[in-house]
Structure formats: structure tokens, C-alpha cells
Amino acid sequence: MKYLKLISIFILIFILYSIPGFFLNDSEFYLSLNKPYWAFKPQTFMIVWITLFVINSLYLTYKIYKKSLNIELKASFIMNYIVMFLFDLYFFKFNHLFLSFSLSIFSFTSGLLIFIFLLKENRYEASIITPYLLWTLLASILIGHMYFIN
């Protein structure tokens, strides 16, 4: 019964992370933009984001199970989720590059905030967020580059 509850929590968190990309993703807009030579194919984004969502969902499930998700961490993850949702909305639905660029920087910043809160608790747990930080930094550079060349 305990495992069923944990699996349910994981699936719920993963679905919440996936909703914006599932409903708002329009790769046609991305494909229509001028991009730097090093830009990724849409499939790369999908694979990386799904991997990051699995990692975050597993981590949050673990923290919920251990009852160690403090208010700072909850607020940071919620803020990060909202920023990611808004990025998908403004990039894929409204095709607004400047706001998307700004939101990508906020996404990195909110990930950095999560990293800092985790670092205070446990260095190992802080390392779990490192792939997210690296990816959002790279994505911010890419969207910034696309903003300036379009």
C-alpha cells in the first residue's frame, strides 16, 4: 500500500510538470525562428525535459515521503513550476521572444534558489538539481541568442 501511494504521488507530480509542455508545445514556432548553428532539435528538448521532470518528480516524492519538504523548498518549487508554465505559454502560445527570454532567466534563477536551499540541508540533495541548472542556463543562452537574431 505504501508503494502504491508513492507511485501515485510520483505520477501526479510528473503529470503536473508535463501539462504545460503537453498542451502548449508548438514546435512549429521554434522551427520557424532563426537559430544559432548550435540550436537543438525539438526532440532533444523533449528528451531532456522529460528526464528533468522524472528527476524532479522522484526527488519531490522522496521529500514528501520523508516529510522533509520545508516551506522554503515548497515555495521555490511552486515558483519554479509557475515560471516554467509561463515560459511555455509565452513562447509557444503567444510567440513572445523577449518575455520568453526573461522567463527562461527566471527559471534558471528559481532553480538556483532551490539549489541554495538544498545546499543548506544536504550537499548530495543539492547536486540533484544541478542538471536542471545547467539545462536552464543553456536554454536561457539559446533563447537569448534567438531573441537577438530574430
Containing structural domain, residue 64: 2-149
| CATH value at residue 98 | 1.20.1260
pLDDT tens over the chain, length 150 residues: 788 999 999 999 999 999 887 777 778 899 999 999 999 998 999 999 999 999 999 999 999 998 888 898 999 999 999 999 999 999 999 999 999 999 999 999 999 999 999 998 888 989 999 999 999 999 999 999 999 999
CA-closest candidate to residue 26, choices 80, 96, 82, 104 = 96
- Which of these, 10, 18, 11, 130, lies nearest to 59 by C-alpha position? 10
Rounded CA separation 56/63 (Å): 10
How many domains, in total, are found in the chain? 1
C-alpha atoms less than 13 angstroms from C-alpha of 105 in its C-beta half-sphere: 9
Residue 149 C-alpha from the chain's centroid: 24
**Other residues' Cβ atoms within 10 Å of the Cβ of residue 116:** 13
Residue of 37, 24, 36, 43 lying closest to 150 (CA atoms): 36
